[in-house]
Chains A and B, each alone.
Chain A
Amino acid sequence: MPLFSKSSQRGLLPGFSLTLGVTLLYFAVIVALPLLAMLYKSVNLGWPDFWAIISSERAVATYKITVGAALLATLFNALFGLLLAWVLVRYEFPGRRLLDAVVDLPFALPTAVAGLALVTVFSANGWFGRYLEPLGIKVAYAPLGIAIAMMFTSIPFVIRTVQPVLEDVAVDVEEAARSLGATNWQIFARVIWPAIFPAFIAGCSLSFARSLGEFGAIVFISGNLPFETEVMSLLVFIRLDEYDYPAAAAIATVMLVLAFLMLFVTNSIQAWQLRYADRS
């Protein structure tokens, strides 16, 4: 670990002021300024108006739908991600390398393409929909579709955070546990699970955060009905379309605050994970 590498003497390598200047200027103009402009707009609304917008019935309905669907998607991805990480790290089988590469597809595939594919597959006469709808399971243009869209776009998070940690779980610790008479289940519960748990939680929170803000895939599949299948990002878009800029700014600010909260949570978990990794 280069954590304690000798700190390079500032004088030796050139480019400190150049790279600092470029970085700060670019960050200020491209990232910070727009964010501040939106926050300024929200602050200008004044607290009573801001609160009235973000606590309106329709807005609250979108929070519930968004958070509920994101939780469902994260739960699925937690299990699916754990399974895939386990299988990819632990077993050798034909197609392992292909599977390892394909797992990243949801990140590489544009969300609009994913949304188009998902709504087609799950619509009444689609490849999946024709079997699901007779069973009474409606996905396209239903709340379940939102969860499916969120799920697809965040599949890789848990896999990619758990995989490297699982690879690092020392085989000799497992062997020691086995020689002391531990069963496979005990080894998993007492040795492996504690080691991968922080990474697993970090992956889940990344997946959840991504799902809260997802837009592209959801517009195609959700049906976009107020109070039923309308998520936060969509309500922002609708308010913009109606030229209701204050409402768009207020709800977008709620999303931004949520995003920062999740960033803080994820960073804390990852710091915890690093400490954890250093100790073992």
Chain B
Amino acid sequence: MQTAAEPAAPAKMQSSRRHGQRPARTAHWLLILAALALSALFIGVPIAVIFTYALREGISVYIAQITQPATWHAIWLTVLTAIVVVPINMVFGICVAWLVTRFRFPGRRLLITFIEIPFSVSPIVAGVTYLFLYGSQGLLGPLLESHDIKIMFTVPAIFLVSLFVTSPFVARELIPLMQAQGSEDEEAAITLGASGLQTFFYVTLPNIRWALLYGAVLCNARVMGEFGAVSVVSGAIRGQTNTLPLQIELLFNDYNVTGAFAAASTLALIAVVTLILKYLLERKQAG
């Protein structure tokens, strides 16, 4: 990988070297430049093209595209989905993390593996599973229909499938942290007479707040951006069950390229904000 630099390895460099990082030499710079160039091409350009195309007809056209009723409604529905789904999965994540890090019981490891299943399932398969549960062809569909309850191709279906897809996010951030922190603090609180809830809110929560927030941020990004699963269950009814990612596809298929990019830019902006928050929260957690 760096054979070219071998003969020049000066002895003094070794002593001045910190763990992990060392001052770069020519061959190192070639690797660095290759990494930067490839990242710019494969990661930088796609994000740049979104904002360039979104704004290419000027800011007024951009605003008009974003505020056209169908896109505006898609933005609202996307935000609403996040408002419903993220808190539920935060509660679930806390429950799972408390369960598997504070207690030992048979099947614990299996449970940890099971919780992560939604990460392995293709979004399209996730959508299909919900169709075969709540759809008219599905397991519970006929029963629900006889009670006049319709879930498939409605907003609740979008909530449900989003819950499925993002259920492991918070738990995955909390489990390693709570495992590492151990339960001595909480045991002390309980021994001193605190109730379970007091212990959670005054001892556990302050210790895990940044990881919790971090998990929520990642969960939120995925909820807002989910495409495959939602496209199966929503029916993509304009102005009713169309979330932003579906609206992007719809506009693109309508040859409204600027409109598609304008809608995409809102989600790209959320992705950028997510990365900034992730960076800040990781620093908070470390310090």
Contact = CB atoms under 8 A, between A and B. Distances in A.
A80 interface: yes
9 contacts: A10-B105, A20-B99, A26-B92, A37-B133, A37-B139, A116-B260, A121-B45, A256-B122, A259-B120
A98 to B, nearest CB: 9
Given A13-B187, A104-B278, 7 more contacts: A13-B102, A35-B129, A87-B32, A110-B221, A117-B50, A236-B128, A259-B125
A214 B122 contact: yes
A213 B190 contact: no
Interface of A: 2, 5, 7-8, 10, 12-16, 18-20, 22-23, 26-27, 30-31, 33-38, 40-41, 80, 83-84, 86-93, 95, 99, 101-114, 116-118, 120-121, 126-128, 151-152, 155, 167, 171, 175, 178, 183-185, 188, 209, 212-216, 219-220, 233, 236-237, 240, 245, 248-249, 252, 255-256, 259-260, 262-263, 267
B164 A34 contact: yes
A38 B132 contact: yes
B114 A27 contact: yes
Contacts of B17: 171
Contacts of B126: 34
B149 interface: no
Contacts of B183: 8, 13
A126 B245 CA distance: 22
B271 A2 contact: no
B227 interface: yes
A38 B129 contact: yes
Given A19-B98, A116-B252, A220-B249, A215 B122 contact: yes
B23 interface: yes
B48 to A, nearest CB: 9
B221 to A, nearest CB: 5
Nearest to B99: A19
Given A15-B196, A99-B35, A91 B28 contact: yes
Given A117-B46, A213-B123, A215-B122, A105 B271 contact: yes
Contact of A184 (B5, B98, B140): B5
B1 interface: yes
Given A167-B20, A216-B227, A120 B49 contact: yes
B123 A30 contact: no
Which are the 10 A-B pairs with shortest beta-carbon distances?
A110-B225, A213-B122, A216-B227, A34-B129, A14-B196, A215-B228, A112-B245, A117-B46, A37-B133, A19-B99
Contact of B190 (A13, A86, A185): A13
B22 to A, nearest CB: 7
Contact of A112 (B29, B140, B199, B248): B248
A215 B227 contact: yes
Contact of B122 (A101, A127, A255): A255
Nearest to B28: A91
A265 B60 CA distance: 52
B138 interface: yes
B146 interface: no
Contacts of B32: 87, 91, 93
Given A8-B103, A111-B227, A91 B98 contact: no
Interface in B236-274: 244-246, 248-249, 252, 257, 260-261, 264, 267-268, 271-272, 274
B42 to A, nearest CB: 7
B167 A220 contact: no
B66 interface: no
Contacts of A80: 38, 42
B96 interface: yes
